[in-house]
Amino acid sequence: MALRLGDIAPDFTAETTEGTIHFHEWLGNSWGMIFSHPADFTPVCTTELGRTASLKDEFEKRGVKVVAVSVDPLDSHHEWIKDINETQNTTVNFPLIADHDRKVAELYDMIHPNASEKATVRSVFIIGPDKKIKLTLTYPASTGRNFFEILRVIDSLQLTANYQVATPADWQEGEDVIVVPAVSTEDAVKKFPKGVNIVKPYLRTTPQPNK
C-alpha cells in the first residue's frame, strides 16, 4: 500500500555513493528528504541532482539530510556524478542510493508500473525528526521538480510543527500566516502578541510568530 502522511518512513540498509547507510540511524534527529529519479545519465535528472547539490546550504540551514535513489548500480552513480559536477557546476554532496534490487523503490512505492515497469518516478518524501512522513510529491519523468518549492514546504512544515498556524497559498518565509481553526479568537489574541487580523471568523491572520 502506498505510504501516507503520518506513516513511519520505512527503514532500510542500502549501499550509497557515500558508503552503507542504515536509514533511520543515518537520519538521527534530523529532518530528511528521500527522493527518487528515473535513471542515471538522463538530462532532467542531471539538472535535478545538480540543483539539489547547489542548495546544500539551504537544506543544511533547515536541518534536512538529503538522499537520492535510483535503481542504477553504484559504479554508474559514481560515473554520472562526474558529469553532474561538470555540467551543473557543482559538487554532489549527498548520497545516492544504488537500489539495483529495488528494495528502497518498493518500500516507498516509487515504481508506478503504468508510468514505467522498471524506472522510479520522481518521488519526494519529507520526513520529520519523529521519522514520520510529512510530505509526499510525485512527478512524472518528463517534469523536473522545483526545489525552491520543496524548501518552501519544508519552511511551512517546520513552522507549523511548532506553532498553531497554517500557511496560505503561495506563502513565503516571512509573510503572514493563518491561525488554525482549533484556536479560538480569544486565545489567538493571547498566543500571537504581534496581532491577529480577523478577516472572517474562520480566517484570521498573524505575522509569522518566529520572525
Contacts with ligand BEZ, residue ranges (CB under 6 A): 38-39, 42-45, 141-142
Least separation in angstroms between CB 122 and ligand BEZ:
8
Q: Which CB sits closer to ligand BEZ, 47 or 205?
A: 47
Smallest distance, Å, CB 84 to ligand BEZ? 12
Q: Are 131 and 24 in contact (CB under 8 A)?
A: yes
Alpha helices (H) along the chain: 23-27, 43-54, 56-61, 74-88, 103-107, 147-162, 185-191
43 or 201, CB closer to ligand BEZ? Answer: 43
**Spatial contact of 144 and 47, defined as CB atoms under 8 Å apart:** yes
Rounded to a whole number of angstroms, the minimum distance from the CB of residue 59 to ligand BEZ is 21
Nearer to ligand BEZ, 38 or 50 (CB): 38
Residue type at position 75: D
**Catalytic residue from among 45, 68, 127, 133:** 45
Please state, in angstroms and rounded to a whole number, the distance separating the CA atoms of residues 56 and 106: 27
Nearer to ligand BEZ, 29 or 143 (CB): 143
Query: Is 45 one of the catalytic residues?
Result: yes
Query: What minimum distance in Å lies between the beta carbon of 41 and ligand BEZ?
Result: 9
What are the backbone angles phi and psi of residue 48, rounded to the nearest 5°? -65, -45
Measuring CA to CA, which residue among 32, 199, 208 is closest to residue 131? 32
Catalytic residues, by residue number, are 45
